Amino acid sequence: MLRSLSILALAAVFAAPIAVHADPITGTLSAFGTDTFTSNTVQFFSGEVAGGPGALTGTFALYLTDGNPINFLAGVLPYNQGPNTVPPAISPVQLFTTSQNGETFAFYMTDYNAMYVSNIPGCTVGNCLDVTGNGFFTANGVVAYESSPGSFTFTSQLVGGQTSTTFSASAIATPSAIPEPSSLALMGSGVLAMAGMVRRRMARAA
């Protein structure tokens, strides 16, 4: 019984990395919507997938279409200007989700860089809020994809007298590198060689 268990354990080490691997999320996702903001808060009212040709690619394009609703984090959201890391107690923050054709995508933010500016090139009227950040995407439903690193950009402009305005945003999923098939083959041949050594030692011990 002990001999059989030793060989099965080695076989499991070889099989596990291949059996549990899921496809990563790739591509870009663009959005438009309405919001309001101050120098330290932002609130989203509505959002939808948008941007025209080339704005929706990769995994996102397999399920989402222009006009599909995007649900941003609700309520008045505080932020700090400059580079920031989401506090550990609430990190990562689910910034938005969108669902269509049986698949739900979510973006979780881990850090961001916010700039509230006015009277500068590109923002000569009113106040502007530009935010970039990092985090990761998840996707579940028809297919359970591998969680993949991602980044986002957000820009909005509020002119004096307005109580709300529009924003544009985009996000890109950049999956981590995975082992090449050749690497998996080398690892597999090494494990099989180890299994052969165990079998030979068992034969001599018998």
Kindly report, residue by residue over 29-76, the tens digit of the pLDDT: 999 999 999 999 999 999 999 977 788 999 999 999 999 999 999 999
What range defines the domain where residue 192 resides? 181-205
pLDDT higher at 90 or 200: 90
Clarify whether residues 111 and 198 are in a common domain. Answer: no
Angle of CA points 193, 196, 199, to nearest 5°:
155
How far apart (Å, rounded) are the C-alpha atoms in residues 76 and 41?
Answer: 6
For 5-18, the pLDDT digits (tens) are 333 333 333 333 44
Is residue 86 scored above 90 in pLDDT? yes
Clarify whether residues 186 and 152 are in a common domain. Answer: no
Domains contained in the chain, number: 2
Asked if residue 32 lies in contact with residue 55, where contact means CB atoms within 8 angstroms, the answer is: no
Clarify whether residues 121 and 199 are in a common domain. Answer: no
Clarify whether residues 162 and 105 are in a common domain. Answer: yes
Clarify whether residues 150 and 186 are in a common domain. Answer: no
Clarify whether residues 98 and 128 are in a common domain. Answer: yes
Number of H-type helices and E-type strands within the chain? 3, 10
Residue 7, domain member (yes or no): no
Which residues does 21 contact at the CB level (< 8 Å), separation at least 6?
Answer: 146, 178
Clarify whether residues 95 and 147 are in a common domain. Answer: yes
Residue 132, domain member (yes or no): yes
